[in-house]
Amino acid sequence: MENEYSHDIIKNKRIENAIRISAEMFLENGIDSVKMTDIADESGVGVATLYRYFGTKTGILIAAMTYMWGDLKVMFSGVFESDVFVSQTGIKQINDLMRMYIVLFTAHKDFMRLLAEFDVFIRREGVTKSELEEYDRSIINFYPVFENAYKTGLADGTVREIENFPMLYLTYAHSLMELSKKLVQGEITPSDNFSNAETELNLLIDTAVYYFRKE
């Protein structure tokens, strides 16, 4: 039996702690403001070790973003398998699923703001898709639950048949996520007015639910 305090296990725990701390620092300060030396100082892991393990700041940033998506998955875990949720009509399930974007926006504004920064950083640094495979797998994928809700709605008569359901799902998922990221970044031009941000999101959701509903 391996010793609980073996060198490898202790090292892995220290690396995991460094990822957690870096996530907190990115959330609080933004990506560009956090340096590898800052993470080393806060986590107690030598900067040389961080570079050896992650390669670059991009490496630990991707690990931190992956870690944060994992935390969000835990938060939503079990919600859409509950008896309360699955006992609802298909259209009500779709409505509740859409409202999850409101939860992400209102309860996790710092994370949504960081996501917007992350997108810009990834493009700027030329990060390849292959480098983002693990990160991509960590992102919450609501599609299977949406598909089940859609099928439930077809069966109970509350949802109309849609020719290309996957494309419709992607359209609204992308629209809600991108609108959320824009709203959390704050007003830029004189004509911007984000004082009714939640109302904007709710209106977009209402149009989606109206489109799904079978009259």
71 contact partners, CB below 8 Å, separation of at least 6:
none
Distance CA 105, CA 183 (A): 9
Q: Does domain 8-77 have CATH number 1.10.10.60?
A: yes
pLDDT of 147 > 80? The answer is yes
Where are the chain's structural domains?
8-77, 78-215
Confidence label for 8 from pLDDT (cuts 50, 70 and 90): low
Mean pLDDT score of the chain: 91
Instruction: Return the closest-CA partner of residue 61 out of 128, 12, 13, 115.
Output: 115
CATH of 78-215, one of 1.10.10, 1.20.140, 3.30.450, 1.10.357: 1.10.357
Distance CA 23, CA 65 (A): 7
Taking residues 87-111, report their average pLDDT.
94
Distance CA 27, CA 25 (A): 5
What 3 state SS string does 149-186 have?
Answer: HHHHHHHHCCECCCCCHHHHHHHHHHHHHHHHHHHHHC
Confidence label for 112 from pLDDT (cuts 50, 70 and 90): very high
Answer whether 8-77 and 78-215 agree in fold: no
Q: What Å distances lie between residue 206 and 93, 151, 203, CA to CA?
A: 13, 20, 5
pLDDT of 4 > 70? The answer is no
Task: Record the pTM.
Answer: 0.87
Per-residue confidence (pLDDT) for residue 11, from 0 to 100? 58
Burial 185-208 (b: 16+ CB within 10 A, else e): eeeeeeeeeeeebeebbeebbeeb
Cα 86 → chain centroid? 23
Per-residue confidence (pLDDT) for residue 9, from 0 to 100? 43
Tokens at 77, concatenated: 């875990």
pLDDT of 167 > 60? The answer is yes
Q: Report which of residues 9 and 205 the model is more confident about.
A: 205
pLDDT of 106 > 60? The answer is yes
